[in-house]
């Protein structure tokens, strides 16, 4: 509102209804779009019509900035970041675009004058669920920060027709339904039918000698598809930079197969088109990949080849020779999902541009950088050789050649250590043979990074240890961050206003400025306002919970929240052990004075992950028993929020008092929810895992509830014959909790339902719940004690926000720019 506000009247003095920023211009633009795009007038317009009319109004203004951005980049020809990610979870666009453009207030007023409530239009938007969890959301935070920092960048991915499934809870169970997010159309995207590339698959290769006597390779594919670009503008905060999220949609190479058509095979011709489109049809709903799925490898190859061909097209327009490709572009691999890019770039350089091997390899090795997001061995992608051979025969040849040259180097360096070459090889020779994508990524990249200090350290000591010994200079850490625009300003406007009043503007793009809050941490009047902000968000969440679950929760209770993907390592069931412990305590002693708590869960399980689904069932079963038990009423309540999403997160993070970050130490690479909660004044109960370690360091140990084994103790415990049974026998409260679950108490007497969960805990307990139980319970007791002292609690909450500055994704992106990408801001002036 500040800098862009343009009060000139449309018509009279030149403010266009396509670009004007005043209330009047926006009002006219809205009506114009409603009429000419939607073909509606106000009296008959549906919510969808009004939403679209506003979205187009905003989009016009985005396109204005986008065109200016492209012009600027064309003139300056800057070095450009290309982010390759199979997943993006950008969240709803409307609210953020209005906020970033600074036209929230004039828009609200313009709509008000037409009797329309802006919030209802914002609430109507369905978000693109083009990701599973942390990795996809991180990519979206990075887009926001790249644009805000005015860095030339394109984010490439797949425009899935069906995103992450919708989660319903029926009889306590997760039921998946398809996410038809495009059903009503997507006003934020612009299709670019003229930007499309061939995607070959299958077939064989032919080696031959050309007229000049040079060795050449021709890939004769079995099939060819096309990838078509669909662009979404991504605006930075308080700047004119609009970067692109360019997603690829698969189509048949020709709309219909005319050969088949002419043969009278109409049906076959149409089928071919349908089959092509399946490539970008649906997102794999696993947070860690399911290994060995053909379509998944196809998807990866599909978006990678389209993206690289697109970069080459842009590169041609600069007039630079192809040997300097890596000077124009720096390409970040978001996990191993796009790692095939290393072989694909080599293929394009060798077979299409006819570079010699060494030159092509030089370009490739200076183009890519690789971010690893996990230490879990089951999440490290590898592809069976026969599958790879059948889909990407030319790539496999290139990978063999890369590997053979690489292993020669390794053997030369370690002549007396043959095992090392085997461990480092791209090919896992244990039968059946596999291609290890993490190895391909490491060998083809000039930089390799983890996503939190601890994770980067463990990478060097464990899964990538041999690579670290070989190339220590390649390894870096880039601790994750999240965007304060979406997760503070937009989600928590009350907090935003209080911060603006206290600190002035500027903190939104320089989060370290929040330090200024420290001076107010003990001020009773400020504390009171702080509590009011939290209270207001807790009431708002209570409204949502009522809408979504029909459960009434009490805003004066402590909101104890765990929202994230459901996974054993994240230990939602440890949280349950605590809830049942409290339940038992009250049942034993009905007069017990405890701090009333509302436990809030949310998150999806991979559809094929039986144990995670059983955990969801147990959460809902415990909720059912607890919520209807009069003995605990007013003291305990348990809620499972169905279909957790970015949008729902925006209600949840600002309302939390306690944020549960309780993964087994060493398993969570970073976590980013931990940052979103803390930024909104929730206190963390957590283990020394992922970014928790650094959050605790910054906010201060006294403002963080720490419990549990650290990563070293976890490995030692597991290495030294861990016996969960001993913990069960030694702790009466723990025994009572486990026995109660085993008794069928939460399953209408059915002892078998939760048996697999109980058995696993007592016999294996690979994630050490029982080992951490006692410490967790004691720590939760400390949480309750602290909550009884509002002054102390509020001080801790204020200090969490004051010291969270490091966890802005602006800081993360600035570090990537400086240490990896070597790119500079390119400010954009509005034409
Ligand atoms: O990536 C987040 C981390 C989080 C980690 C997550 C992740 C995925 O969401 C999917 C695959 C994968 O290998 C890792 O689990 O700890 O915060 C962003 O880095």
Which one of 133, 450, 455, 676 would you pick to mutate in the ligand 1 pocket, going by the greatest count of ligand atoms within 8 A of its CB? 133
CATH architecture observed for domain 80-92+127-480+816-821? 3-Layer(aba) Sandwich (3.40)
Closest-lying ligand 1 atom to the alpha carbon of residue 287: 10
Q: Check whether 291 has a pLDDT greater than 60.
A: yes
Residues near ligand 1 with C-beta < 6 Å? 132-135, 138, 287-288, 335, 373-374, 379, 451, 480, 668-672, 690
| Cα 520 to ligand 1 centre (Å) | 35
pLDDT tens string 24-36: 999 999 999 999 9
| Per-residue pLDDT, 289 | 81
Mutate to test the pocket of ligand 1, among 85, 135, 376, 671 (most ligand atoms within 8 A of CB): 135
Three-state SS letters, 72-92: HHHHHCCCEEEEECCCECCCC
Lowest-confidence range among 10-14, 234-238, 283-287, 400-404? 10-14
0.95 surpassed by pTM: yes
pLDDT in tens, 487-536: 999 999 999 999 999 999 999 999 999 999 999 999 999 999 999 999 99
Measure the CA–CA gap between 606 and 618, rounded to whole angstroms: 16
pLDDT band at residue 273 under the 50/70/90 scheme? confident
> Could you tell me which residues come within 8 angstroms of residue 628 by beta carbon, excluding any fewer than 6 positions away?
none
Span from the CA of 689 to the centroid of ligand 1 (angstroms):
13
The ipTM of this complex is 0.99
Q: Phi and psi of 666, rounded to 5°?
A: 100, -5
Q: Are 80-92+127-480+816-821 and 484-805 in the same CATH fold?
A: yes
Residue 557 makes CB contacts below 8 A (sequence gap 6+) with 595, 596, 597, 598, 637
For 221-250, b/e burial (b = at least 16 CB within 10 A) is beeebbbbbbbbbbbbbbbbbbbbbbbbbb
Q: Looking at ligand 1, which residue's alpha carbon is closest to its atom 14?
A: 373
Q: What are 24's two structure tokens?
A: 């009047």
Atom of ligand 1 nearest to the CA of 372: 13
Q: What integer is the mean pLDDT of 300-306?
A: 98
pLDDT tens sequence across 606-653? 999 999 999 999 999 999 999 999 999 999 999 999 999 999 999 999
CATH superfamily of 484-805: Glycogen Phosphorylase B; (3.40.50.2000)
> What value does the mean pLDDT of the chain take?
96
Centre a 10 Å sphere on the Cβ of residue 749 and count the other Cβ atoms it contains: 9
CA-371 nearest atom, ligand 1: 19
What is the arithmetic mean of pLDDT over 434-447?
98
Please tell me whether residue 816 adopts helix, strand or coil conformation: helix
296 CA distance to ligand 1 middle (Å):
18
Looking at the CA of residue 672, tell me the nearest atom of ligand 1: 17
How remote is the CA of residue 375 from the centroid of ligand 1, in Å? 10
As given in the structure block, the two tokens for residue 355 are 């570079």
555 pLDDT band, cuts 50/70/90, is very high
Distance CA 61, CA 26 (A): 10
Whole-number pLDDT of residue 288? 83
User: pLDDT by residue (tens digit) across 451-476?
Assistant: 999 999 999 999 999 999 999 999 99
What's the confidence (pLDDT) of residue 271? 77
Whether residue 432 is preceded by a cis peptide bond, meaning omega within 30 degrees of 0, is yes
Kindly report the protein residue whose alpha carbon is nearest to atom 8 of ligand 1.
135
**How far apart, in whole angstroms, are the C-alpha atoms of residue 331 and residue 345?**
11
Q: At what angle do helices 572-588 and 769-787 cross, to 10 degrees?
A: 60
b/e per residue, 790-814, with b = 16+ CB within 10 A? eeebbbbbbbbbbbbbbbbbbbbbb
Note the pLDDT of residue 8: 41
Q: Could you list the active site residues?
A: 373, 564-565, 570, 672, 676
Contact 670, 451 (CB under 8 A): yes
Across 215-229, average pLDDT: 96
Strands (E), 335-422: 368-371, 382-384
Residue 527 has φ and ψ, to the nearest 5°, of: -55, -40
Distance 205 CA to ligand 1 centre (A): 37
pLDDT over 60 at 4, yes or no:
no
Q: What is the mean pLDDT of residues 662-684?
A: 98
Report the residue among 563, 646, 669, 676 best suited for mutation to probe ligand 1: largest number of ligand atoms under 8 A from its CB: 669
User: Tokens representing 743?
Assistant: 């008794």
Q: What sign does the CA torsion over 743, 744, 750, 755 have?
A: negative
Give residue 14's pLDDT band: very low, low, confident or very high (50, 70, 90): low
Distance 373 CA to ligand 1 centre (A): 5
Alpha helices in 189-265 (DSSP H): 258-262
Nearest by Cα to 253 from 284, 231, 233, 228? 228
Alpha carbon separation from 407 to 194, 320, 362, 403, 418 (Å, rounded): 43, 33, 17, 6, 10
Interatomic CA distance for residues 503 and 181, integer angstroms:
40
Burial of 265 (0-12, 13-18, 19+ CB in 10 A): middle
- How would you classify the pairing of strands 329-334 and 80-84? parallel
d(CA 678, CA 664): 20
Which residues are CB-neighbours of 680 under 8 A, at least 6 positions away? 487, 488, 491, 492, 495, 537, 653, 654, 656, 801
SS3 content of the chain, % helix, strand, coil (to 5): 50, 15, 30
367: Cβ–Cβ under 8 A, 6 or more apart, which residues? 325, 326, 329, 330, 331, 345
Spatial CA neighbour of 680 closest among 651, 700, 701: 651
Give the pLDDT band of residue 831 (cuts 50, 70, 90).
confident
pLDDT for res 272: 76
Label residue 290 by pLDDT band (50, 70, 90).
confident
Residue closest by Cα to atom 18 of ligand 1:
135
What per-residue confidence (pLDDT) applies to 259? 66
- Please report which residue ranges of 278-392 form alpha helices under DSSP H: 294-318, 325-328, 341-347, 357-365, 385-391
Ligand 1 atom 4: residue of nearest CA: 671
Q: What is the pLDDT of residues 84-124, one digit of tens each?
A: 999 999 999 999 999 999 999 999 999 999 999 999 999 99
Q: 668 C-alpha vs ligand 1 centroid, how far in Å?
A: 8
pLDDT higher than threshold 90 for residue 274:
no
The values of phi and psi at residue 466, to 5°, are -65, -35
CA angle 83, 86, 87 (to 5 degrees): 95
- What are the sequence ranges of the domains in the chain? 1-76+102-124, 80-92+127-480+816-821, 484-805
In this predicted structure, what is the pLDDT of residue 257?
Answer: 60
Decide if pLDDT at 37 tops 80. Answer: yes
Q: Show Cβ contacts of residue 207 under 8 Å, excluding neighbours closer than 6 positions.
A: 215, 216, 217
What is the mean pLDDT of the segment spanning 783-797?
98
């Amino acid at each position: 509102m500040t800098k862009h506000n343009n009060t000139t009247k449309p018509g009279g003095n030149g403010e266009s209804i396509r670009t004007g920023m005043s209330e009047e211009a926006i009002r006219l633009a809205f009506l114009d779009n409603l009429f000419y795009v939607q073909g509606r007038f106000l009296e008959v317009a549906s919510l969808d019509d009004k939403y679209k009319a506003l979205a187009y109004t905003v989009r016009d203004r985005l396109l204005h900035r986008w065109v200016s951005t492209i012009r600027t980049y064309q003139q300056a020809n800057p070095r450009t970041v290309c982010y390759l990610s199979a997943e993006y979870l950008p969240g709803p666009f409307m609210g953020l675009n209005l906020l970033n453009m600074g036209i929230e207030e004039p828009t609200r007023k313009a709509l008000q004058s037409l009797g329309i409530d802006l919030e209802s239009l914002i609430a109507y938007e369905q978000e693109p669920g083009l990701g599973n969890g942390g990795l996809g959301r991180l990519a979206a935070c990075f887009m926001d920060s790249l644009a805000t920092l005015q860095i030339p960048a394109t984010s490439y991915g797949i425009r899935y027709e069906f995103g992450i499934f919708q989660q319903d809870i029926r009889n306590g169970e997760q039921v998946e339904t398809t996410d038809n997010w495009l059903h009503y159309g997507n006003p934020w995207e612009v299709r670019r039918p003229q930007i499309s590339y061939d995607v070959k698959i299958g077939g064989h290769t032919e080696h031959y000698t050309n007229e000049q006597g040079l060795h050449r390779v021709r890939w004769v594919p079995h099939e060819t598809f096309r990838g078509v670009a669909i662009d979404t503008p991504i605006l930075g905060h308080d700047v004119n930079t609009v970067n692109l999220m360019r997603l690829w949609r698969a189509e048949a190479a020709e709309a219909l197969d005319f050969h088949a058509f002419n043969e009278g095979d109409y049906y076959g011709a149409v089928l071919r088109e349908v089959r092509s489109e399946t490539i970008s049809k649906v997102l794999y709903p696993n947070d860690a990949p399911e290994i060995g799925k053909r379509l998944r490898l196809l998807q990866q190859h599909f978006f990678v080849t389209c993206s690289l061909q697109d970069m080459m097209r842009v590169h041609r327009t600069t007039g630079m020779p192809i040997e300097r490709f890596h000077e124009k572009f720096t390409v970040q691999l978001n996990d191993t999902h796009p790692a095939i890019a290393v072989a694909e770039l080599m293929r394009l350089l060798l077979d299409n541009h006819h570079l010699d091997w060494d030159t092509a390899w030089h370009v490739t090795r200076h183009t890519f950088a690789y971010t690893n997001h996990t230490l879990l061995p089951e999440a490290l992608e590898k592809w069976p050789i026969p599958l790879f051979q059948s889909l990407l025969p030319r790539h496999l040849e290139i990978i063999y050649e890369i590997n053979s040259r690489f292993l020669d180097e390794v053997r030369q360096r370690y002549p007396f250590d043959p095992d090392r070459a085997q461990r480092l090889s791209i090919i896992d020779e244990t039968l059946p043979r596999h291609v290890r994508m993490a190895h391909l990524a490491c060998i083809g990249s000039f930089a390799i990074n983890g996503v939190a200090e601890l994770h980067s350290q463990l990478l060097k000591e464990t899964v990538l240890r041999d690579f670290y010994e070989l190339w220590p200079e390649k390894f870096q850490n880039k601790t994750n961050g999240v965007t304060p625009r979406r997760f503070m300003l937009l989600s928590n406007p009350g907090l935003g206003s209080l911060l603006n009043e206290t600190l002035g503007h500027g903190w939104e793009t320089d989060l370290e400025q929040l330090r200024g809050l420290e001076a107010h941490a003990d001020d009773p009047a400020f504390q009171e306002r702080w509590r009011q902000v939290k209270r207001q968000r807790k009431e708002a969440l209570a409204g949502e919970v009522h809408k979504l679950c029909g459960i009434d929760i009490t805003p004066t209770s402590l909101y104890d929240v765990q929202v994230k993907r459901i996974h054993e390592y994240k230990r939602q069931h440890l949280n349950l052990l605590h809830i049942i412990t409290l339940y038992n305590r009250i049942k034993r002693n009905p007069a017990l004075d405890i701090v009333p708590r509302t436990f809030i869960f949310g998150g999806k399980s991979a559809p094929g992950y039986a144990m995670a689904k059983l955990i969801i069932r147990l959460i809902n079963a415990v909720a059912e028993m607890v919520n209807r038990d009069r003995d605990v009423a007013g003291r305990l309540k348990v809620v499972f929020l169905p279909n957790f999403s970015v949008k729902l997160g925006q209600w949840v993070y600002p309302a939390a008092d306690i944020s549960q970050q309780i993964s087994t130490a060493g398993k969570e690479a970073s976590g980013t929810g931990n940052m979103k909660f803390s930024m909104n004044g929730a206190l963390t109960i957590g283990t020394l895992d992922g970014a928790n370690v650094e959050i605790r360091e910054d906010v201060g140990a006294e403002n963080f509830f720490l419990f549990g084994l650290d990563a070293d103790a976890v490995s030692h415990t597991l290495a030294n014959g861990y016996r969960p049974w001993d913990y069960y026998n030694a702790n009466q409260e723990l025994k009572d909790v486990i026995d109660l679950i085993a008794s069928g108490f939460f399953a209408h007497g059915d002892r078998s339902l939760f048996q697999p969960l109980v058995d696993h805990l007592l016999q294996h307990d690979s994630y050490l719940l029982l080992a951490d139980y006692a410490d967790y319970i004691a720590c939760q007791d400390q949480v309750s004690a602290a909550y009884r002292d509002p002054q102390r609690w509020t001080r801790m909450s204020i200090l969490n926000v004051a010291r969270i500055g490091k966890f802005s994704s602006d800081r993360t992106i600035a570090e990537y720019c400086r240490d990896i990408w070597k790119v500079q801001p390119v400010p954009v002036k509005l034409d």
